[in-house]
Amino acid sequence: MQDLYSKLGASLNKEDVHAAIQNLDKGIAPGAFCKVLPDILGQNPEMVNVMHADGAGTKSILAYLYWRQTGDLSVWKSIAQDALVMNLDDILCLGASSDFIVTSTIGRNKRLIPAEVIKAIIEGTEELCENLRSNGVPIYFGGGETADVGDLVKTVIVDSNITCRFPKKDLINCSHIKEGNQIIGLASYGQASYESVYNSGIASNGITLARHVLLQNKYGIEFPESIDAHFQAQGGYNGNFDLEDQVFAHHKNLGLGLLSPTRTFAPYFAELWKNLSRTKVSGIIHNTGGAHGKVLNFVNGVLVEKNVVWQVPEVFNLLKAEAKIDWPELFRTFNSGIRIEIYCDEADMELVQKVALDLNIEAFHLGTVKAAERAEVSFSKSNQTWSYPAPL
C-alpha cells in the first residue's frame, strides 16, 4: 500500500512532514490532538487558543469530474463541508465547544473553474455554519480568499482555517488515554438527525487511492487536468467504473457516494458536554490520516484493543475489492465506518452511546485499553486478527 501511495504522489502517514516539524514547539499541551496555545488573543491564563488548517484534499477533483460530467453544481457545497469539517472535528477532539470562526481559501484555475463554482462553495460554507448554529454549535464564517493561481493549481483546491478560544479546564489531552479505558466508536455512515441525506461514510481521507482504483481511464484522457501527468503516462486511472454507475444502495450513483460530505460530530459533542464532564474522557481520536492507527500518534505503553463489531459500509467493501487490499491495509487507510473514538471509563459508556443514538448516530463499544510495553493497536474481525505497532 505504501508503494502504491508513493506512486500516486501521496503518503499514508506523512512521515516526511512529521520529520520536518518534529523540532517545532508542540504548544502547551503536547499529546493533545491539535496544537494548543496559551490565550494569546485574550491574555487570560484560564483560557487557551487553537487554530487549525486543513482542506478537502483531492476530493475536489472528484467533484470537478462529476460536475463536468453531469453539470450538478450541488457537489461543490459538499466540498465546502469537507474542508470545514476536517478542521472542526479535529478541534472537537480537544473538548472545544466555544465560538468557532472559520475562514476559507480557494485556489482555482479560472480557465476551468467559473464563478458559479466559487459561489456554490462559498454558499455551502455559509449554509453549513447556519445549520450547525441551529444545532447548538456556535460557528461563524469570517470570509476568506479566492485566488486565481492557474500556474499552480490545475482545477481547484478548497481549504479552511478555524480559530477558537475555550477554557483550559475543558482541554482533553489524548496522551491521558490509559489502561482500563473503554473505546466507543461513532459511525461515519448513516443519516444523523441533523443531516439531510444518507452519508456513505467515506469522509475525506484515502480519496486519491479511491479515484485511481475505481475510475475508468477515460477520465484521465478526457480530463487530463484531473491527474498527474507522470501517472497518466503509466496507465492513469485503472478502475472499472463510471461516476454515474449505480453501485450503492443508498446513493444514486458512484459519484454521489464518493462525494458524500464528511459528517461533522459537532452537534453530538455540543449535546454530550451538557451531560458529561470532560474530565470523564481520557481522549478523543478523529480517524483521519492513518485511520485506525491514528491513536498511535498520542499514546505510550498501552495496547488499544479493538473489535470490528460494526458492519463495514459498502463503499469501503468496494474499495477493498477493487484495490485488492486486505483488512489491515483498508483500516490503516480509511475510517472504514468509524470516524470518532471516545476513550472513557466503563461507568460512562452508556451515556456516551445514548447521546449518539438520540441523534441517530450508531455508536459501538469497540474494545478496551490495556497496559503494554509498547504502544500498539490490535484488531479482531470474525476469525482474523492483526495489529499496528507504534514505530520504533
The pLDDT value given to residue 7: 58
Q: Where do you find CATH 3.30.1330.10 in the chain? A: 2-202+259-389
The pLDDT value given to residue 230: 87
Question: Of 290 and 18, which is predicted with more confidence?
Answer: 290
> Tell me, what DSSP letter sits at residue 190?
B
391 pLDDT band (50/70/90 cuts)?
A: confident
C-beta separation of 237 from 8 below 8 A: no
Question: Of 1 and 306, which is predicted with more confidence?
Answer: 306
233 pLDDT band (50/70/90 cuts)?
A: confident
The pLDDT value given to residue 1: 52
Q: Report how far apart, in Å, the C-alpha atoms of 95 and of each of 133, 226, 355 are.
A: 18, 38, 16
50 pLDDT band (50/70/90 cuts)?
A: very high
Residue 11 has pLDDT above 90, yes or no: no
The pLDDT value given to residue 390: 82
- Grid coordinates in use for 388? 499496528
Per-residue pLDDT reduced to its tens digit, 124-163: 999 999 999 999 999 999 999 999 999 999 999 999 999 9
3-state secondary structure of 199: strand
Stretch among 13-27, 151-165, 218-232 having the lowest mean pLDDT: 13-27
Closest CA to 184 of 107, 112, 280, 100: 280
Nearest 5°: phi and psi at 338? -125, 115
The pLDDT value given to residue 392: 61
The mean per-residue pLDDT over the stretch 242-248 comes to 98
Residue 70 has pLDDT above 80, yes or no: yes
Quick one: CA dihedral 274, 279, 281, 283, positive or negative? positive
CATH 1.10.10.60 fits 2-202+259-389, yes or no: no
Q: What is the residue-wise DSSP string for 215-284?
A: B-THHHHH-GGGS-HHHHHTT----SB-TT----SSSSSHHHHHTPPPPP-HHHHHHHHHHS-GGGEEEE
The pLDDT value given to residue 127: 96
Residue 236 has pLDDT above 60, yes or no: yes
The pLDDT value given to residue 26: 79
C-beta separation of 375 from 388 below 8 A: no
C-beta separation of 129 from 75 below 8 A: no
